[in-house]
Amino acid sequence: MIESSIKVRTGIPGLDSILSGGFREGKTIVLSGPPGSGKTTFGMQYLYVGAKDFDEPVVYVTLAESPREIKNDFKMYGWDIQKLIDDGKMLIIDARPFKMEEGFVELDDSLYRGETLPFMHLTQLIVSSIKRIGAKRLVVDSLTVLAMQYANKFYVRQGLQGMLQALEDRHCTSILISESSAAEKIPIEWYVASGIILLHHLQRENAMERTLQVLKMRGVRHSEQIYPMKLSDAGLQLVHPRLTP
């Protein structure tokens, strides 16, 4: 197969220029960072801008928050997720293993029928959703929750390879959100994905500072600098060039 050289704009102001134009079409990028570092916001901004400004249908797979919470959380940025859904530009796949229905926690066994299957079911569901709306972008939030369900890491690697191949075959440029902490072993998705973006959220004097770093991006000339990142009512934005104090 001929490799695509088409670049997909990220929707994060300041990021495309450090990636020689954006992500490579059809490739999968891991987005990793500690709690509250902006992973979900980054993922949703990538999808929202793609659907709204570039007219590319998108799929969001949630394994953590409910679709209702997600729609609500992003209202403060003025992002009307429901409108994108109504216009057929966004699909949210609710892949949470446990769902709260009228006060009860219910096990959803449509997706979780034993150790080898969650990746397969989810990949099938993702592919049919991509076909349904002609999606060009996808976010899985988070891959960590999916991978946790396997005791045997071989199944994670195999399942992940299959998912990434299916996404690439459909030219669907994807972000896998990965929950990281410095103490953990390097997760499998870091090796399998074509790129890794790290979000840091660190104390600097008496305030917290957000930064972004491109750790790897196969086949792309990219900056290796760590860039300050701003989170405001307009969403995420990269600040550069870095001004050293």
Which of these, 199, 192, 107, 108, lies nearest to 147 by C-alpha position? 192
Select the span of 55-63, 79-87, 99-107, 231-239 touching ligand ATP (CB under 6 A): 231-239
Tell me which residue has its CB nearest to Mg ion. Answer: 40
**Binding string, 155-194, against ligand ATP, x = CB under 6 A?**
------------------------x---------------
Rg over alpha carbons for the chain, rounded to the nearest Å, is 17
| Strand ranges across the sheet with 90-94 | 90-94, 58-62, 137-141, 173-179, 28-33, 195-204, 207-217, 226-232, 235-238
Residue 37 interacts with, from Mg ion, ligand ATP, none (CB under 5-8 Å by kind): ligand ATP
Select the span of 7-15, 28-36, 95-103, 184-192 touching ligand ATP (CB under 6 A): 28-36
Pick the closer one to Mg ion by CB: 133 or 177.
Answer: 177
SS3 at position 206: coil
Backbone region of residue 26 per phi and psi (left: phi > 0; alpha: psi in -120 to 50; beta: other values): left
**Hey, which residues does 189 pair with through a beta bridge?**
none
The helix-helix angle for 153-169 and 118-133 (nearest 10°) equals 10
Q: Contacting ligand ATP (CB under 6 A), which of 2, 35, 101, 224?
A: 35
Judge whether 195 and 30 are in contact, CB under 8 Å. Answer: yes
Residue 232 interacts with, from Mg ion, ligand ATP, none (CB under 5-8 Å by kind): ligand ATP
Which of these, 6, 79, 87, lies nearest to 46 by C-alpha position? 79
Query: Closest distance between ligand ATP and the C-beta of residue 98, in Å?
Result: 17
Query: Per CB under 5 A, does 40 bind Mg ion?
Result: yes
SS3 at position 100: strand
Query: Per CB under 6 A, does 239 bind ligand ATP?
Result: no
Query: Per CB under 6 A, does 134 bind ligand ATP?
Result: no
Query: Per CB under 5 A, does 41 bind Mg ion?
Result: no
Q: Contacting ligand ATP (CB under 6 A), which of 3, 6, 17, 36?
A: 36
Query: Per CB under 6 A, does 33 bind ligand ATP?
Result: yes
Query: Closest distance between ligand ATP and the C-beta of residue 27, in Å?
Result: 22
Tokens of 114: 């034993």
Judge whether 19 and 222 are in contact, CB under 8 Å. Answer: yes
Q: Which residues bind ligand ATP (CB under 6 A)?
A: 33, 35-41, 179, 231-233
Q: Which residues bind Mg ion (CB under 5 A)?
A: 39-40
